[in-house]
């Protein structure tokens, strides 16, 4: 049985709880999260993609190019 987590499908009401569960909600609301592609500050309003890695969580802004730069390369899957 395959498990696949699509973070792009989680939005709006679930977004806050998702960010909190990842431990980055405070970081984001404090303006300390930046797009890994262009470096722009990312907040709830312009969040494009959430990229959980082993030790930290990266983000992109909602710029189509930034989203595509990460989503087209490596699909986000759950390692369990
Ligand atoms: Zn960006």
At residue 70, the pLDDT reads 86
Q: How far is the CA of 31 from the centre of ligand 1 (A)?
A: 14
Q: How far is the CA of 75 from the centre of ligand 1 (A)?
A: 18
At residue 24, the pLDDT reads 93
Interval 16-68: pLDDT, tens: 898 999 999 999 999 999 999 999 999 999 999 999 888 889 999 999 999 99
User: CA 23 to CA 66: how far, in whole Å?
Assistant: 23
Q: How far is the CA of 66 from the centre of ligand 1 (A)?
A: 5
Q: How far is the CA of 58 from the centre of ligand 1 (A)?
A: 11
The reported pTM is 0.70
Q: How far is the CA of 2 from the centre of ligand 1 (A)?
A: 31
Residue 77 pLDDT > 80, yes or no? no
């Amino acid at each position: 049985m395959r498990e696949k987590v699509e973070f792009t499908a989680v939005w709006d009401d679930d977004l806050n709880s998702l960010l909190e569960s990842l431990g980055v909600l405070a970081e984001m609301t404090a303006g300390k999260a930046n797009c890994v592609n262009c470096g722009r500050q990312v907040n709830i309003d312009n969040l494009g993609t959430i990229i959980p890695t082993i030790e930290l969580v990266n983000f992109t802004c909602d710029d189509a190019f930034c989203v595509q730069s990460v989503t087209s390369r490596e699909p986000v899957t759950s390692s369990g």
